[in-house]
Structure 1
Amino acid sequence: MYVVAGVSGNTGAATARTLIEAGERVRVLVRDAAKGESWARQGAEVAVADLADAAALTAALSGARGAYLLNPTGYAAEDPFRDAAVVADSIAQAATAARLPKLVVLSSVAADRPSGTGIIATLRTLEQRLAGIGLPVTFIRAAYFMENWAEVAGVAAAEGVLPSFLAPLDRAIPMVATADIGRAAAETLRQDWAGRRTIALQGPAVYSPNDVAAAFARALGKPVQAVAVPEAGWAEALSHGGFSARSIAGFTEMMRGLNSGHVDFGSDPAAEPRGKAPRPPITSAPTGRAARAELWPVARRPAGRAAWTPDRPPSSPGRNRRCHRPSRPGRARRECRRPRPAGCPIRPTPPAAARRCTSY
């Protein structure tokens, strides 16, 4: 039997489903018995325990062949770093007391870095605590969750704008779907190993905010433009989401690390890579032929207008937006200043076409 935590969330649910579908016996770990009812109908056992309660967690882990555990960040908590340390100690004590044969633990890209990673430090704490208990443990360091974009899907659908804390908008980074994390966790649980393992897990390709906006545009059948949220507006946006002051500071440092490259998927050469190797990230806008082959949307606002925030979309296309046609060899570039009610087309025209639009 395998114990799976986090079944009310994405990765835990995917792990439990994968194990059940494979014919394995599963015990799901929940804090609220009502949340275990649907799993009981699927044939799983249900154990009620809080990850911070070492005694209850020990009972839930007893008799298991292995467990998938995680330490979800409580962004509303006054001090998520302190709470993470409490949960890490509880998991370590319970796994040891229950004589758990093996552990698979969700972690994050850059958990190997000692500083400059913000909220990811909570997962570094978990890794360090569990690495010293002498049990076989595998840490799955996941890339940026694709599901993070679901938080702004409504804005994209309603306003054609995709707010992004990631920048530059053309810089591609590894991402992964939580369903793939769950499948990888279930697969790993069914394996045997000794000591400590670290898996660096990403999806089949790397993606930029512009790529994500293009995917939304295809799904919605309407133009969607990625827009970088200015760092000055991060704290306000996060506070509206219920983040505490410590969580805002931790999240801000994490995003700075992601945008600067300090939070790097390949920072630990000892980690086992899973997923397709990423293409080199784009660090600047292309020029020449490359520029004519791609659409590079960039948000711009008129001088004196307030910065974009989630409740203030960028100004509509007008005098501050221009459409440029690429110059032919030996001729100066010409501009069209005709405002377009819907902005420039979301799809780039082929490089050999007479003209294309770029929104500025």
Structure 2
Amino acid sequence: MFVIFGATGKVGQTTARTLRQAGLPVRAVVRDPAQAAGLKQLGCELIQADLLDSAAVATAIKGAYAVQMLCPMVPNHDPQATSTMRRMIATAATALAEHPPALVLGLSDYGAELDQGTGITLLFHELEQALKPVQSRLILLRSAEHLQNWSRMLPVALGTGVLPSLHSPVDRPFPTVSAHDVGLAAASLLQQDRSGHATRIISMEGPQRVSVQDVADTLADLLGKPVKPWAMPREEWAARLSGIGYSADNAQLLIDLYDTHNAGGIEAEAGSERLYGESPLRTVLAGLLAQASTPAR
């Protein structure tokens, strides 16, 4: 049994779908079964579990050969985001230690080797550290920033012709990757039969690095109208994040991350294995625009 936590997310859905297409049994762990109809149609076993519920997590991983674990995210408005995510990580790690599967794949992040100054990526570091003592083969799949994150800014770009970003400067390329490609890579890694308990650390990014300027230019070409990139002034970050619903704690996690990112401190760890996705920027942005223009049902 392959157990996928966060199975309704962009990475988790792709992993689950790919494993099912290979004829493998998949248990999809979700918070809200109502959002998992597609997974059920694929033949996934659905189980509802909150990562704060140790008994539910233990039930979810019962009988698993492999478990794909994510760093749990909480709603932007959570006033205690850091402590909530740390409790979720501890709950998941304890359950895995008590019921270790043959293989654990942890979905992690570029910069997760760093133990300070990385904001929300520090939670990925803590997830990795919590998983390492588990008596399972461990794969840490660290991905660059997901291109799908630009969907949050599409309404602004469409409405104003301006693409805001915390990245600065806007013409500096940085590593990105499609979440779909990460899900495909995870499904492939979960099916690889390797012996031993050595931890594999794999850094994954897309076929080429992109800048905010590249994103804006590609959007402009797809839309047939100008789109201008705009690096939001550092002194305005906290107020702007608060204005769109971020709690002070969650906003600070992002601020710390982008301070380190803009200083060049977020990179693939030297010596890690490397994987490269195939989805180009234009293909991903075209898909996001298609989704944005599709009426909700």
Partner Cα distance (2:230, 2:151) in 1: 15
Give the root-mean-square deviation of aligned CA atoms. 1.4
Give secondary structure in 2 for the equivalent of 1:206. Answer: coil
Distance 2:154 2:193 in 1: 40
Deviations 1:154-201 (A, max 9, x none): 122222111111010110001001001101111111113332111101
User: Which residue in 1 is equivalent to 2:283?
Assistant: none
Maintained 8 Å contact 2:107/2:141: yes
Deviation, structure 1 residue 32: 2.2
| Paired residue secondary structure (1:50) | coil
Q: What is aligned with 2:295?
A: none
Q: Deviations over 1:138-167 (max 9, x none)?
A: 111110111111111112222211111101
Alignment partner of 1:12 is 2:37: no
Aligned to 1:55: 55
TM-score (norm 2): 0.88
**Structure of greater relative contact order (alpha carbons < 8 Å, 6+ residues apart):** 2
Length, aligned pairs only: 274
Larger fraction in helix: 2
Q: TM-score, normalised by structure 1?
A: 0.73
Q: Which position in structure 1 is the counterpart of 2:168?
A: 167
Answer yes or no: is the 8 Å Cα contact 1:62–1:99 preserved in 2: no
CA contact (8 A) 1:107 1:127 kept: yes
Q: 1:252 aligns with which of 249, 252, 255?
A: 255
Q: Hey, what does 2:82 align to over in structure 1?
A: 81
Matches within 5 A, 1:229-248: 229-248=232-251
The one-letter amino acid paired with 2:29 is L
Tell me which residue corresponds to 2:38.
38
**Cα distance in 2 between the residues matched to 1:52 and 1:100:** 20
Following the alignment from structure 1 to structure 2, what is the Cα–Cα distance between the partners of residues 132 and 60? 20
Q: CA deviation at 1:94?
A: 1.4
Measured in 2, the distance between the counterparts of 1:241 and 1:73 equals 17
Distance 2:17 2:83 in 1: 32
Residue number in structure 1 paired with 2:210: 207
Structure 2 residue runs of 5 or longer lacking an equivalent are 278-297
What whole-Å deviation, never above 9, does each CA across 1:324-345 have from its counterpart, x for those lacking one? Answer: xxxxxxxxxxxxxxxxxxxxxx
Residue aligning to 1:146: 147
Identity of aligned residues (%): 34
The answer to whether the 8 A contact 1:116-1:262 is kept is no
CA distance in 2, matches of 1:86, 1:232: 31
Q: Which 5+ residue runs of structure 1 have no aligned equivalent?
A: 277-360
String of CA shifts for 1:188-237, please: whole Å, max 9, x gaps: 11113332111101000000000001110111011111111111221122
Match of 1:295 in 2: none
Tell me how far 1:8 sits from its aligned partner. Answer: 2.1
- Aligned partner of 1:229: which letter? M
Superposition deviation, residue 134 in structure 1: 2.5
Counterpart amino acid of residue 206 in structure 2: G
Cα distance in 2, alignment partners of residues 86 and 155 from structure 1: 34
Aligned to 2:21: 21
User: Which shows bigger deviation, 176-185 or 21-30?
Assistant: 21-30
1:52 & 1:272 partners in 2: Cα distance?
A: 32
- CA drift of 1:15 comes to 1.1
Tell me the distance in 1 between the aligned counterparts of 2:245 and 2:16: 29
Matches within 5 A, 1:324-335: none
Alpha-carbon deviation of 1:35? 2.6
Code of the residue aligned with 1:130 in structure 2: it is L
User: In structure 1, what is the Cα distance between the partners aligned to 2:161 and 2:49?
Assistant: 43
Question: What's the CA shift for 1:22?
Answer: 1.8
User: Per-residue displacement from partner, 1:110-158 (whole Å, max 9, x unpaired)?
Assistant: 1101111111111111110111223211111110111111111112222
Partners of 1:178 and 1:241 in 2: CA distance: 24
In 2, the alpha carbon distance for the partners of 1:34 and 1:223 equals 39
Q: Which residue pairs with 2:285 in the alignment?
A: none
Structure 2 residue aligned with 1:132: 133
* Superposed CA offset, 1:33-81 (max 9, x none): 3233332122111111112222111111111210111123213222222
Distance (Å, rounded) in 1 between the aligned partners of 2:71 and 2:52: 10
In structure 2, the residue matched to 1:187 is 188
User: What's the secondary structure of 1:4's corresponding residue?
Assistant: strand
1:162 alignment partner, SS class: strand
Q: Distance in 2 between matches of 1:158 and 1:32?
A: 32
Cα distance in 1 for partners of 2:9, 2:114 equals 26
Higher Cα Rg, which structure: 1
Cross-structure match for 1:285? none
